[in-house]
Every structure is written in structure tokens, then in C-alpha cells.
Amino acid sequence: MPPLKVFVAILFSVAMTIESASAFLVQPACRNILHRHGTLCAHAFDGEIDVERTYSMNESTCNTTTCHQIKYHIHNRMNLSSQQAAPILVLHGGPGIPSDYLLPLCDAIPYRSIVFYDQLGCGRSSGPDFNDAYSIDSSLDDLELLIKKIGLRRFHLYGQSFGGILAFEYMKRMSERKNDNDDAPVCLSAILSSSPCDVDQVESVAGDLIEKLLKGDPDESTVMERFRLKYTCRRDEKPQPLIDAYEGAGATGVWRGTESIRGWKATKPAESSNRMPSCMVMRGEHDFVTADCVEGWKDAFNHKFVRMKELEKLSHHGLLEDENMYGEIVDSFFSEYD
């Protein structure tokens, strides 16, 4: 099996069958999440926004426009307008891996409002089964609609993996728009967690890491799990939030995984743009998103306030490996910009 194909399978395939993932998409919007302490907590994704997609179902048909709902959940809703601790808007990875694996942020940062949503096409936000219906730009349009629907005025952005790419592109869009309206939403700061600044680069790096694993042990039947234990989540048993997320992953071949965004690379906003928010780029010491894969973020922002943070002993899913340390680092950075 070629290294790149192994890489895509490891990072973005569902452990279950396609049928079980499809069944998940039609379950109710309230799912039970088993937390690390064994307590069963319900996170009701009971908020929704209406979005549209226009796309071609095949080369011989005209464009079709369909309507869909994006589901969201607000943790600590009563603190949404706090002036002391601004809410966190969470952008999950993938594309196509829903928010479940990031829900432990509720335990890690218990006093802030935290907004989670499943991007269109995965989890609780089922979408069209046509790749033409998805793009980074349409995802940004959805994000703006969500911010407007909730009424966010001041917030921090947190993006994990692909979510960091979306967070960057949102900040870049707002910077280039130069909206100085007092009523416009304000992103106070951002964290890009385990987010590559160049998709082709991280695919190549991950492919090299897989080749190393196969040289040490050529058994392809175990390489996915070995990769996980070394570079993705260094816990002996796969955490339940990660299992839940992969069960709800988007359909294979439809806006899912790095092949959907191949060729993307972070670029600076136009010179005339407003200053982008200050940012921290964090990654695990053992992350397949290596130090070289995040170095380019320093040049992608139109200022020098980009902090680099390596999390000792952690990998791609640091939140699931050391929740307390991870939460303290995230909250401490955001507190600087409240």
C-alpha cells in the first residue's frame, strides 16, 4: 500500500462501516458522550442554522440548490456575553470529522462559554453527497451565519487540525473586508492547534513517517494503529470522544480528509488589510504535524504576534492525552486577550 494512501486511511477513515456512519447521521441531535471519569453527559446540539448549497450533481445536469441545517451546541450559555472571559468558538478538523472529540474542552475550561458546531456534511449536520457542494469559502459563509445567529460580539477562535485552517481563513477574510462597524463581531485572538500551514507538505511528512514505521515492521495490517499510538493519540485505548467523532465522520470521498483540500497553503492577506488577531500555534511534541509543518504560519499573518507552543509528550490530539495541561494552556492564552 503506497504511503500516502495509508496516511489518508489512518487520519480520515472511519473505524466503522459506511453503513454505520450513515445511520449515525440520522440519529437525534442529542448524543450521550462518555467522559474520562465515566460519567455520562448529554451535549444537546439543539441549535441550528439554515444554509444553502448550489452544486451540480453530474456534468449533464444544471445546478441544484438545496437547503440544510447546521447543528450547534453552546456550553455555559449564560456566560456567552461575559466581559471577563469571552466565549470560545470551536472549529473541528477533517474536513469531515465532527466536534465530539473536542467536547472535553467543556471539562478542561469549565467556566467559559464554548460554542461547538458540526460543519456541513458530518456529524449532526448532514449535507449533500456531492463534492461540488463543499469548499473552504462555503464553510466560511456558514461560520459567518453561525456567528450572526448566535449574536457573538467578542470571541476567541480555536481551530484544531483542519479547523485551524478555517480559523485562519476566517481571520484573513475579516481582515481584508476591513469592517470597522462598531456592531461587527470581533475575534479577540486565535489558537491553531495541530494545524498545518501547507496541506501538501503535511501529507508528504506523514507519508515519510509511515514509511519509517513500515521499514521497522512491514505489517500493513497494524500500521494504522501504530501510527495512531505514535503520532495521533498516544493513549493505549482510543478515547471514546475520538471513537464518537469517527463514527460520525462524513462520507468517504465527499469533503473528507486532506484530499479534499489538497494544494491549500496559507498566504498573507492583502497589504491594505486590517491587522489580524494575535495567534498561538500549538502542536504536540510527537505530532505528525511537525515543527516544519507549522513554521510557515509566522509569515502568513500580517503581524509578528504569532506564538509557537510545543506540548511536551503529546501528539495530534493533545486534549485527549492531557486534558488539564491542555486546557490550562488554551485558557491562559485566551485570558491575555479578554
pLDDT over 80 at 143, yes or no:
yes
CATH code given to domain 3-57+64-335: 3.40.50.1820
pLDDT over 60 at 169, yes or no:
yes
Q: Of 31-40, 204-213, 214-223, give the lowest mean pLDDT range.
A: 31-40
pLDDT over 80 at 201, yes or no:
yes
- Give the C-alpha distances (Å, rounded to integers) separating 66 from 43, 130, 136, 141, 256: 28, 11, 18, 15, 20
All cell numbers assigned to 124: 449532526
Q: What is residue 44's predicted lDDT score, i.e. its pLDDT?
A: 85
Q: What is residue 47's predicted lDDT score, i.e. its pLDDT?
A: 94
- Quickly state the pLDDT bin for 23 (edges 50, 70, 90): very low
Question: Average of pLDDT values for 180-207?
Answer: 94
Residues with Cβ within 8 Å of residue 9, at least 6 apart in sequence: 224
pLDDT over 60 at 78, yes or no:
yes
Q: Of 176-185, 223-232, 285-294, give the lowest mean pLDDT range.
A: 176-185
Q: Report the percentage of the chain scoring pLDDT > 70.
A: 87
Main-chain phi, psi angles of 188, to 5 degrees: -75, -40
pLDDT over 80 at 75, yes or no:
yes
Question: Average of pLDDT values for 121-143?
Answer: 95
Whole-number Å distance between alpha carbons of 112 and 75: 8
Residues with Cβ within 8 Å of residue 214, at least 6 apart in sequence: 3, 220, 223
Q: What is residue 60's predicted lDDT score, i.e. its pLDDT?
A: 66
Question: Average of pLDDT values for 94-112?
Answer: 96
Whole-number Å distance between alpha carbons of 85 and 106: 14
Where does residue 2 fall: left (phi above 0), alpha (psi -120 to 50 degrees), or beta otherwise? beta
**267-316 tens-digit pLDDT:** 999 999 999 999 999 999 999 999 999 999 999 999 999 999 999 999 99
Q: What is residue 178's predicted lDDT score, i.e. its pLDDT?
A: 79
DSSP designation for 79:
G
CB 256 within 8 A of CB 94: yes
All cell numbers assigned to 262: 489538497
Main-chain phi, psi angles of 278, to 5 degrees: -65, 155
Secondary element (H or E) of residue 115? strand 114-117
* Higher local confidence (pLDDT), 253 or 319: 319
pLDDT over 90 at 160, yes or no:
yes
CA 54-93-319 angle, 5° bins? 155
All cell numbers assigned to 291: 515543527
Main-chain phi, psi angles of 71, to 5 degrees: -95, 140
**320-331 tens-digit pLDDT:** 999 999 999 999
All cell numbers assigned to 238: 482510543
Q: What is residue 2's predicted lDDT score, i.e. its pLDDT?
A: 47
Q: What is residue 40's predicted lDDT score, i.e. its pLDDT?
A: 33
Mean pLDDT (the chain, rounded): 88
Secondary structure class of 300 (helix, strand, coil): helix
Residue spans per domain, the chain: 3-57+64-335
pLDDT over 90 at 230, yes or no:
yes
* Higher local confidence (pLDDT), 120 or 25: 120
pLDDT over 70 at 36, yes or no:
no
